[in-house]
Amino acid sequence: MKKKKAYNVAVIGVGVVGQMMLRILKERNFPIKNLRVFARSARQIQVDGISYDVQVISPEGFEGVDIALFAGTEGEKGASVTFAGEAVKRGAIVIDNGADFRMDPDVPLVVPEVNPKDAKKYRKKGIIANPNCSTIQMVVALWPIHKVVKIKRVVVSSYQAASGAGRGTVEQLFKETKEILDAGCRMPALPAGRQEAGRIEPESCILNHESKILPKQIAFNVLPHIGSFGESDYTSEEWKMVRETHKIMHSDKIKISATTVRVPVRTGHAEAIYIETKKDFSLDQLRELLKNSAGIELIDDPKNNLYPLPIEAEDKDAVFVGRIRKDPYVKNAFWLWVVSDNLRKGAALNAVQIAELLIAKK
């Protein structure tokens, strides 16, 4: 890519990820000459007090664009399927947060802390794919470990926030939560010592919605279903954590198996990651390594009740790692508790970091 003082940038999509991209481009002072914002319909939006004119997306709109950041669409084919080719034809490099191109062998899948050099391999299609949110935070934590002691195996269970499924899902979470509070659902048994007749029916914590975005109620519930069910009864989200990790880390030898679960959290995915490594490692070595690794912030002081939490990760850039432990029975096996803002490092920030790789001087 030809280096310039400033670039013509397009952001496609103004949902939670698109808006976060606008915020992060500003925060990081990305050198922008001209910014275009595209969506299906024209409107004006404000993000952090700044006004943006949203134009209707069209092939011609990409004329003169250097970098096109596609925010991606949850659960359906993204705008990139229709428009990435049009943007590339007109000279843009596309960075796509959607899932459509991630496993294309001609499209690099990049996490800057892990495989920055892959970003240079975009020429065949002109597209660089941004990985899935749950994959990104996992590989940021795994990569420094893999480089030193080789990871043989990963068993991971996730605790994923509503915003990972878009704005509508966050709205579903808050709407359901409010309805349940309004319905008076409180205690699982009568409060002790009160003279109330009858019992509070637990059914009042269950809602019957007509239209939902998630397949089931998310308020006061956990939902072992993200994406759609596929091969071997794993969900698409679970397969993403396997296959995207293999591609990013350039190793399909790592045995990865995942259970992904939606939890009633606004933003911030958590993952309980169990790994087996080829070589041994002391916990002190592991902590020292992670503390000094790119993109990671270590919060691992259980004696003082310090460990990563979704509410504290929200609106932060880092991948937070804590609760580091050895399996008491199995050699070279460890737990990590990994939390990150799924809209930032899990989506918009990672995409902007890829753009930064493209414009880097060296």
Which of helix, strand or coil describes residue 215? Answer: coil
Q: Taking the complex as a whole, how short is the minimal distance between the CB of residue 100 and its own copies, in angstroms? A: 21
Cα 183 to its chain centre, rounded Å, is: 33
Q: Which of 305, 160, 130 is nearest to 225 (CA)?
A: 160
What are the CB-based long-range contacts (under 8 Å, 24+) for 184-190?
185/220
Cα 310 to its chain centre, rounded Å, is: 13
Query: What one-letter code names the amino acid at 231?
Result: E
Tell me, residue by residue from 142 to 161, as one string, x for binding to its own copies by CB under 8 A and - for no binding: -----------x-x-x-x--
- Cα–Cα distance, 227 to 203 (Å, whole number): 27
Out of 47, 81, 103, 357, the residue judged to bind its own copies by CB under 8 A: 47
Q: Taking the complex as a whole, how short is the minimal distance between the CB of residue 103 and its own copies, in angstroms? A: 16
**Sheet containing 333-340, strands listed edge to edge, beginning at the edge strand earlier in sequence:** 255-259, 151-159, 269-277, 333-340, 319-326, 296-298
Q: Taking the complex as a whole, how short is the minimal distance between the CB of residue 344 and its own copies, in angstroms? A: 9
Instruction: Tell me if residue 146 is catalytic.
Output: no
Query: Which is closer to its own copies, CB of 294 or CB of 306?
Result: 306
Tell me, residue by residue from 298 to 327, as one string, x for binding to its own copies by CB under 8 A and - for no binding: ----xx-x-xxxxxx-xx------xxxxxx
Q: Which of 177, 166, 164 is nearest to 339 (CA)?
A: 164
Q: Taking the complex as a whole, how short is the minimal distance between the CB of residue 256 and its own copies, in angstroms? A: 7
Instruction: Tell me if residue 205 is catalytic.
Output: no
Q: Taking the complex as a whole, how short is the minimal distance between the CB of residue 121 and its own copies, in angstroms? A: 27
Query: Which is closer to its own copies, CB of 91 or CB of 264?
Result: 264
> What residues numbered 177-216 form the site for its own copies, per CB under 8 A?
177-178, 181, 185-199, 202, 205-206, 215-216
62 and 4 in contact (C-beta within 8 Å)? no
Query: Which is closer to its own copies, CB of 194 or CB of 362?
Result: 194
Only one of the segments 25-33, 61-69, 131-139, 254-262 lies at the binding site for its own copies (rule: CB under 8 A); that segment is 254-262
Burial of 185-216, coded b for 16+ CB within 10 Å and e otherwise, reads beeeeeeeeeeeeeebeeeebebeeeebbbee
Determine if 105 is a binding residue for its own copies (CB under 8 A).
no
Looking at 146, 185, 209, 269, which residue is catalytic? 269
The size of the interface with its own copies (CB under 8 A), counted in residues, is 97
Query: Which is closer to its own copies, CB of 88 or CB of 286?
Result: 286
Query: Which is closer to its own copies, CB of 2 or CB of 189?
Result: 189
For β-strands 255-259 and 319-326, DSSP reports them as unpaired
Q: Kindly list the catalytic residues.
A: 133, 269
